[in-house]
C-alpha cells in the first residue's frame, strides 16, 4: 500500500458513507503505511461535528486502528505511583514543601516520600486524590 497523495483535511471530508469509503477503503491494517493512512483519516474525523455516516465510518476505522495497535505496538510502560506523584507536582508547580503542607506532614517526611524512602499512607492517597482529582490506583502502582 502506498501513502495517500494528498493530506486529508476535516473541511474536505465527504459527507456520505460511500464517498468516505471511496476516499479510504476500510481494510484490515497489515503495515505501517496502511496504519499511517488510516490514522490520518481518523485524525481528520476526530473532534469534528459529524453526521451519522461519518460517525459510523470513524467507528469502523478506529476499530481497525485499535486492532493493529494491539497486535503490533508495544504498550507504554505504566508509571509507578511515585513517578505519577512527581509528575502531578511538577505539572501543578508544587514542591516538596507544598506536598508536605498538602499531606500535613513535616518537610522531611515529604522529601522521603519523593525519594522513595517512605510509602504513601491511605490518608496521604486520599488527600492527593482530592487535590488532583485522580483515582487512588494512580498511586498504588
Which of 74-109 are b and which e, b meaning 16 or more Cβ less than 10 Å from the residue's Cβ?
eeeeeeebbebbeebbeeeebebeebbebbebeeeb
Domain 81-139: give its CATH architecture: Orthogonal Bundle (1.10)
Consecutive H or E run containing 8: none
Residue 107 above 50 pLDDT? Answer: yes
Per-residue model confidence (pLDDT) at position 12? 79
Residue 3 above 70 pLDDT? Answer: no
Q: Rounded to two decimals, what is the model's pTM?
A: 0.54
pLDDT tens digits along 36-59: 999 999 999 998 899 999 999 999
Per-residue model confidence (pLDDT) at position 108? 96
Write out the residue limits of the CATH 1.10.260.40 domain(s) in the chain. Answer: 81-139
Per-residue model confidence (pLDDT) at position 2? 52
Place of cell 522531611: 108
Amino acid at each position: 500500500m502506498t501513502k495517500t497523495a494528498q493530506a486529508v483535511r476535516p473541511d474536505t471530508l465527504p459527507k456520505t458513507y460511500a464517498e468516505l469509503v471511496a476516499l479510504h477503503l476500510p481494510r484490515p491494517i497489515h503495515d505501517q503505511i496502511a496504519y499511517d493512512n488510516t490514522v490520518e483519516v481518523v485524525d481528520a474525523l476526530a473532534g469534528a461535528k459529524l453526521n451519522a455516516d461519518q460517525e459510523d465510518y470513524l467507528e469502523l476505522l478506529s476499530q481497525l486502528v485499535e486492532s493493529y495497535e494491539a497486535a503490533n505496538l508495544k504498550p507504554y510502560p505504566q508509571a509507578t505511583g511515585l513517578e505519577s506523584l512527581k509528575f502531578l507536582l511538577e505539572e501543578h508547580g508544587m514542591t516538596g514543601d507544598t506536598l508536605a503542607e498538602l499531606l500535613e506532614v513535616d518537610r522531611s517526611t515529604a522529601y522521603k516520600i519523593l525519594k522513595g524512602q517512605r510509602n504513601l499512607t491511605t490518608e496521604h492517597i486520599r488527600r492527593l486524590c482530592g487535590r488532583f482529582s485522580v483515582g487512588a490506583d494512580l498511586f498504588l502502582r
